[in-house]
Amino acid sequence: MDIQIRDMMESDILDFHKAFKLQGWDKPINLFEKYYKEQKNGVRKVFIAVKGEQVLGYATLLPNAQHGPFANQHIPTVCDFNVLEKYQRKGVGTAIFNAIEDGVKKYSDKICLGVGLHAGYGPAQRLYIKRGYIPDGSGVWYNNERLEPYAACTNNDDLVLYLSKDFTRKA
């Protein structure tokens, strides 16, 4: 597959909204409008995977972790990484992460992210581990707070494990 990675364009807003809706995922249009606006304002970088005119997936990068164990340490953070289901396991996620990491290596020795723990995040969990991301050791987080041992929680999108990758460390 000939995958290209580029910045977000305004037309991607509706393209992604429609594509995710077709596969039964609720990704509101205002989410993509927010990403586009933040990219224009230099607050967030948006990496879009395309083949020709077809959007395949995306990820966003914030210059500083806003939540979790890496918050306010000026460590670039991957947020909201998604590949449309019909393009998963075809190199799209790898292409997105190659572009992100190549860019981040120019100004940081480290990158971080949070990943959900339910089965829907399984493909992403596997990708991150294969790419050398490791848990930070702070345990599980729920609703942006460290979850105390034996505390009750719901296995939803707010239950996450934080991972990081140190570019100075040899695999």
Q: What is the pTM of this model?
A: 0.93
Question: Can you give the residue ranges of every domain in the chain?
Answer: 4-166
pLDDT digits (tens, 9 = 90+) for 22-66: 999 889 999 999 999 999 999 999 999 999 999 999 999 999 988
pLDDT digits (tens, 9 = 90+) for 137-158: 999 999 999 999 999 999 999 9
**46: phi then psi, degrees, rounded to nearest 5:** -115, 125
CATH number for the segment(s) 4-166: 3.40.630.30
**98: phi then psi, degrees, rounded to nearest 5:** -60, -45
Distances (CA, A) of 148 to 50, 145, 166: 41, 9, 27
- Look at residue 66 in the predicted model and tell me its pLDDT: 87
